[in-house]
């Protein structure tokens, strides 16, 4: 989500990850299996992953079947995870009416999910070192889909909140590990493009989840809508398992060494470049979720009185995110990250301010501009985490997403208090201030490009 702030990613040795798929035919003669001892320190892991080796596997590139399979698999991951996380966003007014709760309380159906997700992401990134990337992602997708089905059947508000919280907890095995897999297995010169495709999947999932939920809920009920989404995401999990190529640049670490993981996290938190990326992730997600959360209440009330179906159709603006994120990744690889990041944040600010004009076309247009800017910033910044981190990319990605989803939870819920006490003008003032803070941080990043 911001640019490459560090040096280019070096070529990796050809390690084969045993639990993920060690039996795939290897084309390089120097390939070998490596399992790191559990007692290794973070610095040892970092040096081992950068060890030069003749004929080593440098990463997947466009033109081969595995690259295309990986792109589709990670697109499905992004689609299903974000559809499950954000499927409740257009339903917040319906929850408030069905369970007789306030707008701020109804937002807990989303904030609890993202809050638990933020915490579990950090733990999942650590455990994936011992269990393997592919298996962790698959298990997380499977359990989250089942929990969404369960949530649709529970009769009480607190039961639904508990299921949504558990859903966030198990989904922690998806975002950080997916980002780490891409950073490890994709050739550095194509990482921005691949990360953009993954983010495009998240945009499409967010759009399909929100729009589909609103339309099906209007025709039937929100319970049937959540149930059907859970079934669809079960199918995505199975397709992912069959499509994703095996890991080759991942070092398996049997057991769980708390000392190793603490050192890895501490190392990344001392990296000022990474801290800027983490802060930007927190801010852009805060703005995005807060504005979308309370735009549903704005448009469902006077003077607009939009129906559930019409409100859900507004989320079709996610189509701009699908396109902008994939294009931004490619442009950032070519022209540099800081410019693209600043452009994304400027679009976000313009979109926020445009909603102040009043007429509903201006509000919808502002949301579209905000969405475009958000996904540009998100794609560019996420592609910078792995290169800036160097070693232990899973830990770096998990910390980024910790900040990212904390922004969704903290500001997403705090925005309810701002909405209730200051109305839409107060929500706009809050999100505009957060966006401008992100722009100040982006100015301090180095404008680097991906390696040729």
pLDDT tens column, 11-61: 333 333 333 333 333 333 333 334 444 444 333 333 333 333 334 567 777
CA distance linking residue 181 with residue 243, whole number of Å? 14
* 351-370 pLDDT tens trace: 999 999 989 999 999 999 99
Q: What integer is the mean pLDDT of 300-309?
A: 87
Task: Tell me whether residue 106 is in a domain.
Answer: yes
- Which range, 188-192, 219-223, 230-234, 338-342, is most confident? 230-234
Domain assignment present for residue 211? The answer is yes
Closest CA to 414 of 234, 292, 303, 286: 286
pLDDT in tens, 409-425: 889 888 889 998 999 99
Asked which of 30-34, 108-112, 225-229 is least confident by mean pLDDT, the reply is 30-34
Is the confidence at residue 126, as pLDDT, over 80?
Answer: no
Does 382 score more than 80 pLDDT?
Answer: yes
Nearest CA among 361, 327, 368, 364 for reference residue 347 = 368
Q: Is the pLDDT of residue 101 over 50?
A: yes
Question: Residue 288 has what pLDDT?
Answer: 93
User: 234-240 contacts: CB < 8 A, separation 24 or more?
Assistant: 234/142, 234/145, 234/146, 236/76, 236/77, 236/79, 236/80, 236/141, 236/145, 237/80, 237/138, 237/141, 237/142, 237/145, 239/73, 239/76, 240/73, 240/76, 240/77, 240/80, 240/137, 240/138, 240/141
- Total structural domains within the chain: 1
User: What pLDDT, on a 0 to 100 scale, did the predictor assign at position 184?
Assistant: 80
Residue 446 is predicted with a pLDDT of 63
Q: Residue 6: is its pLDDT beyond 60?
A: no
Q: What is the structure's pLDDT at 254?
A: 67
How many whole angstroms separate alpha carbon 256 and alpha carbon 10?
A: 27
Token pair listed for 163: 């299921």
Which tokens in the block code for residue 405? 């989803």
pLDDT at 57: 61
Residue 241: CA atoms inside 13 Å, Cβ hemisphere, count?
14
Residue among 82, 135, 382 nearest 244 (CA): 135
Closest CA to 314 of 367, 261, 388: 367
Out of 2-16, 84-98, 136-150, the most confident range is: 136-150
The pLDDT of residue 349 = 97
Q: Is residue 253 domain-resident?
A: no
Q: What is the CATH number of the domain that holds 208?
A: 1.20.1250.20
186 domain-assigned:
yes
Q: How large a percentage of the chain has pLDDT more than 90?
A: 31
Rounded average pLDDT over 117-139: 78
Residue 125: the pLDDT is 64
Tell me the two tokens of residue 232.
Answer: 């669809």
The reported pTM is: 0.68
Whether 78 and 202 have beta carbons less than 8 Å apart is answered as yes
**pLDDT for residue 253:** 67
378, 199 contact by CB (below 8 A): yes
pLDDT for residue 59: 72
Token pair belonging to 234: 């079960």
In a domain, 5, yes or no: no
Residue 32 domain-assigned?
no
Please give the average per-residue pLDDT across 98-116, as a whole number: 88
Q: Which run of H or of E encompasses 228?
A: helix 222-243
Distance CA 92, CA 419 (A): 14
| Ramachandran quadrant class, 35 (left: phi over 0; alpha: psi -120 to 50; beta: rest) | beta
187 part of a folded domain: yes
Q: Stretch 117-135: mean pLDDT, rounded?
A: 75
Domain range for residue 310?
Answer: 60-247+271-443
């Amino acid at each position: 989500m911001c640019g490459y702030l560090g040096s280019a990613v070096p070529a990796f040795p050809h390690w084969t990850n045993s639990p993920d798929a060690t039996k795939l035919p290897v084309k390089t003669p120097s390939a070998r299996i490596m399992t790191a001892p559990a007692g290794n320190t973070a610095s040892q892991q970092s040096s081992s992953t950068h060890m030069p080796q003749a004929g080593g596997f440098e990463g997947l590139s466009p033109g081969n079947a595995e690259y295309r399979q990986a792109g589709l698999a990670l697109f499905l991951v992004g689609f299903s995870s974000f559809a499950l996380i954000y499927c409740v966003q257009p339903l917040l007014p319906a929850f408030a009416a069905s369970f007789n709760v306030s707008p701020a309380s109804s937002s807990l159906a989303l904030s609890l999910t993202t809050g638990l997700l933020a915490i579990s992401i950090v733990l999942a990134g650590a455990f994936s070192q011992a269990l393997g990337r592919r298996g962790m992602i698959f298990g997380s997708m499977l359990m989250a889909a089942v929990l969404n089905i369960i949530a649709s059947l529970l009769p009480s508000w607190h039961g639904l909140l508990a299921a949504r919280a558990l859903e966030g907890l198990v989904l922690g095995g998806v975002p950080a590990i997916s980002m780490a897999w891409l950073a490890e297995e994709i050739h550095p010169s194509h990482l921005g493009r691949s990360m953009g495709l993954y983010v495009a999947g998240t945009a499409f999932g967010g759009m399909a989840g929100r729009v589909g939920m609103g339309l099906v809920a209007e025709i039937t009920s929100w319970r049937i809508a959540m149930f059907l989404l859970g079934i669809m995401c079960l199918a995505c999990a199975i397709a992912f398992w069959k499509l994703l190529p095996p890991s080759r640049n991942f070092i398996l670490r049997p057991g769980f060494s708390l000392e190793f993981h603490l050192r890895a996290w501490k190392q990344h938190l001392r990296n000022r470049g990474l801290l800027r990326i983490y802060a930007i992730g927190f801010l852009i997600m805060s703005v995005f979720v807060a504005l979308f959360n309370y735009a549903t209440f704005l448009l469902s009330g006077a003077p607009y009185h939009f129906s559930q179906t019409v409100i859900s159709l507004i989320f079709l603006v996610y189509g701009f995110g699908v396109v902008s994120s994939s294009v931004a990744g490619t442009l950032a690889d070519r022209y540099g990250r800081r410019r693209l990041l600043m452009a994304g944040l400027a679009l976000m600010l313009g979109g926020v301010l445009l909603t102040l004009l009043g007429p509903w076309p201006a509000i919808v247009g502002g949301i579209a501009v905000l969405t475009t800017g958000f996904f540009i910033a998100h794609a560019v910044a996420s592609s910078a985490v792995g290169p800036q981190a160097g070693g232990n990319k899973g830990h770096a990605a998990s910390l980024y997403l910790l900040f990212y989803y904390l922004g969704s939870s903290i500001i997403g819920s705090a925005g309810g208090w701002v909405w209730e006490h200051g109305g839409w003008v107060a929500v706009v003032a809050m999100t505009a201030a957060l966006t401008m803070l992100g722009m100040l941080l982006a100015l301090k990043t180095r404008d680097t490009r991906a390696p040729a």
